[in-house]
Structure 1
């Protein structure tokens, strides 16, 4: 993307963020797996949203001050069926080496709006481009506008770089990135982002902004053991990860801060372990610095960990906690973008919860987008959300607010262009 286009995208994000401001609120060992070990009281946004359903949403008022981007989001939102709206809340998996017929069928049947490219591929950028083009062929047209698929990948660097081969640079680990001058790192990230954008990937599920104390790297399974941290102090991590965010942004690629509130003080990897607990992190912890810095740098997504934080909410995992999602992330940190879960498909941390309840629990607590790397769970999840939308007016309004945020992100990524 050109510099002018990048500036335009950031302007759209800024304007839309103003319009939808709300008071609410890992691939660890498996590099091809979820991002955790491999992200509301949405008062203002919800008041501007109409109830879910095409007929009732026609009267929806445009987002104030959001100019063309906001009016396009409103127009598309108003034209969506209930099933299409619910589908926008999900990110399902397709193989990075080529989607299967089953994977594509899931996208179409359940109106899934975003995908994650799963599994390492060494075939290069041209091969990935063919994959993303096939994914885009499933994108719906609403109100005369193509609603593009948001394609994501875990492209952090080091052991967590799923897309390699001709056309993709070999990215060093975050530990190495953290030692580079920020100007150099930003320039590197712009190059890596342009490679992603050229291959049709619009969202990087990176950077990791968890702060792992230096004396805990050898026992921190999801981050430290895999060299996914930018440093061992909040100031270093904030500075270096924000350079990465800015660089990706210049290339027109959206970024994801993970794993909120922090995986810096855990030992287990939620991809492979249940009952992973953090007994250190508090609502006033230093971890907030890295998120605030990344948000200021332009990150549009925040990923939520599947960990229990005993000093914040000892009764439930962060991904199901309004205290974490609304009170801490939305209210205290001030994030108004898209809140995405870590993998809720195959992760052992959530296997005791029925698939449908995983989705409704996360969305009811203040989340926006459910990530599942297991396409077989999508139908149960969307069905549960559809049922709750029909029976719960407050949940229906929350869904509309989430869809609005997701469409705004898509507009910023150039995936939503209404005819003038």
Structure 2
């Protein structure tokens, strides 16, 4: 996403059948047969059963707005196209209370007609350092991830819980952070424009990134905010920035630390995963990661076993996806196995994207099944929350 600016929900109940023992028979007492009760299975309620197809499609989009005032089109997108999430991008400095007032304008639109009463996800990009959208009275100035990485993971967890409490007070329940990208050395960090040049990395190896990104994410959860690991399968080795140019990674493989770091991170608790818009030559050279079934469905969901929510990086204005129409971007992302299309910078493309996905779902049963699966993952994650205690 522009610098200005998913965890599986495991559920199920094990029902234990009790069996009463029959009393022992005696010459004077007739034997009484004991009835064995058969447990009644708990019915499974489909979380999207009450949503219309149009509302299910709306859950698959997150649309941007400024922090100084609500974007009128984004307000309309919730009411008219049932959009299920908003993204607060860069704006003027605002206090926690001012930000909460802006957010309240959007959350007030949640209704049976608009969102099917499914609550909004309200997201922002609060990494620290150069990437901290919300700032002003009540928001602490967060250090860069590189500085955060010098702290003990337990200390970082406590810090992140405090930062999450600020976000929650402002009405934010999703943070599109932390960065899980691995920049391989301090000496070459400046050659990596999207991550290393901005000190967005926690360190230079898999273990350090796993410990500190994991600590940050856990702190977010305990503060009531869902974290997001990004940018799968890794931007730490890229030599260009996907915001400004079509980027091809020639190094990362399915077995690279950049990918394997997600095993530990995703096992630790609920989270979203953000799919990159770079092309990965050694995994799938045919398409950006967010458009690649091989990367999203095959690698992330299959090999790594992630069954939570996958959100794309910005598909509204990034140069990396300029070669596809807005409609094609949305269709390819959902078709690849992504659940939420992020439309953060140029919200004017949302109607074209939404209408294309709705039309495809109405005419193609196979695509409709993908829409249902994505909407089900999103609503399930919203219902479960970040797992704060």
The answer, yes or no, to whether TM exceeds 0.5 is: yes
1:346 is matched with which residue?
Answer: 317
Q: 1:332 to 1:291 in 2, by over 3 A?
A: same
CA offsets 1:365-416 (integer angstroms, 9 cap, x no match): 11111001221111101111111101111111111111111011111238xx
Please say if residues 305 and 342 of structure 1, whose CA atoms lie closer than 8 Å, have aligned partners that are also in contact.
yes
Deviations 1:310-366 (A, max 9, x none): 100111111111110011101111111101100000111111101111001010111
For 2:243 and 2:270, how far apart are their aligned partners in 1? 24
Gap regions ≥5 residues in structure 2: 16-41
Q: Is 2:207 aligned against 1:235?
A: yes
Counterpart among 188, 213, 223 of residue 195 in structure 2 = 223
The equivalent of 2:124 in structure 1 is 153
Residue 132 and residue 399 in structure 1: after superposition, are their counterparts in 2 closer, same or farther (change >3 A)? same
- Per the normalisation by structure 1, the TM-score is 0.81
Question: Secondary structure of 1:376's partner?
Answer: helix
Q: 2:253 is paired with a residue of what secondary structure?
A: coil
Contact kept? 1:73, 1:408, Cα under 8 Å: no
Aligned residue for 2:103? 132
Assess if the C-alpha contact under 8 Å between 2:158 and 2:219 holds in 1.
yes
Report SS of the residue matched to 1:254.
coil
Kindly tell me: are residues 91 and 143 of structure 1, through their superposed partners in 2, closer, same or farther at Cα, counting changes over 3 Å? closer
Task: Point out which structure has higher relative CO (alpha carbons under 8 A, 6+ apart).
Answer: 1
Question: Larger Rg: 1 or 2?
Answer: 2
CA distance in 1, matches of 2:115, 2:382: 16
Runs of 4+ in 1 over 6 A off after TM superposition: 70-73, 142-145
Asked if 1:406 corresponds to 2:378, the answer is yes
Return the alpha-carbon distance in structure 1 between the equivalents of residues 200 and 179 of structure 2: 7
Gaps in structure 1 of 5+ consecutive residues: 1-25, 33-38, 40-44, 46-62, 415-420
Q: Name the stretch that deviates more: 93-102 or 128-137.
A: 93-102
* Counterparts of 2:166 and 2:385, CA distance in 1: 15
Shift of 1:157: 0.4
Q: Distance in 1 between matches of 2:74 and 2:114?
A: 26
Shift of 1:287: 1.5
Counterparts of 2:231 and 2:148 in 1: how far apart (Å)?
18
Per-residue deviation at 1:72?
Answer: 9.5
- After the TM superposition, which residues 18-417 of structure 1 pair with which residues of structure 2 at under 5 Å, given as runs? 26-27=1-2, 30-32=3-5, 64-65=12-13, 74=46, 76-141=47-112, 146-214=117-185, 215-274=187-246, 276-373=247-344, 374-413=346-385
> Is the 2:62–2:85 Cα contact (8 Å) retained in structure 1?
yes
Shift of 1:97: 1.3
Q: Shift in Å at residue 294 of structure 1? A: 1.6
- Partners of 2:72 and 2:64 in 1: CA distance: 12
The alignment of Structure 1 onto Structure 2 pairs a total of residues equal to 356
Against the structure 1 CA distance between its residues 101 and 72, is the aligned structure 2 distance closer, same or farther, given a 3 Å change threshold? farther
The answer to which structure has the higher helix fraction is 1
The 1:107–1:71 alpha-carbon spacing in structure 2 relative to 1, beyond 3 Å, is farther
Deviation at 1:300, TM superposition (A): 1.9
User: Contact conserved, 1:79 with 1:143, CA < 8 A, in 2?
Assistant: no
Change (3 A) 1:166 1:318: same
